[in-house]
Amino acid sequence: MPFYETIFETGDHSIAFYEDDEEASRAMGAHHDRAINGESGKAHSTPRNDLPSTVPDPDFPATRVTRALVYENHPADYGVGNEVEAKEAGAKLQAAVKELTNDSTINVHELANAVRELSSPLVVQRGNRHDSSYKMAEGRELELNFKAGA
């Protein structure tokens, strides 16, 4: 059962678990329609008796959905357990040593950081705000029929 990366017009993204494309389209479409109509994106809120009434609880608008990418697994499972392919780690280590060497010395923390980044499931920099935030390759892109004319 798939995970969906919803990419909003603002560049915000979320991961959601839906049973199928129909459920995904229903949820994203409802949120998208709210955005078009200038409505809230927030859930129903019930004040809590255990918190002071002065706690701020601002509303926020719904945001149009721009893209939805489908993954078989949660894309944060990339690099889980901090394990990566040994070949990939070796290549990264060599490149990092070359890049970080300064006057024949190297800062071990910078080197460790470069290697550690290998297991991060997130990209450091997206090409543009509507690109995926994850290193894991998506299986496919969901066709957003609800976007027609909006």
Partner 1 sequence: MAVVSFQRSSQLFTDYVLGASGTVVPPASWTMGLSSVAVSAMVRNSIWSVTVSGTNINELGSTTASGYARQTIAKSIAQAGIDWGTSTFDNTLSTGGQSSTADQVTFGAFSGAPSPNGANSWVLTDGTVLNAGNPYFAGDTAATRTFANGDTEKVTATVKAG
- Return residues touching partner 1 (CB under 8 A): 3, 6, 8, 12-18, 23-24, 26-31, 33-34, 41-48, 50-51, 55-57, 60, 62, 65, 73-82, 116-117, 119-126, 133-134
Taking the complex as a whole, how short is the minimal distance between the CB of residue 73 and partner 1, in angstroms?
8
Report residue 127 as tokens.
């090409």
* 38/103 with CB nearer partner 1: 38
* 65/96 with CB nearer partner 1: 65
CB 41 within 8 A of CB 61: yes
CA atoms within 13 A on the CB side of 23: 10
Taking the complex as a whole, how short is the minimal distance between the CB of residue 93 and partner 1, in angstroms?
17
CB neighbourhood size of 28 (10 A)? 23
As to burial, measured by CB atoms within 10 angstroms (0-12 exposed, 13-18 middle, 19+ buried), residue 114 is middle
* 74/104 with CB nearer partner 1: 74
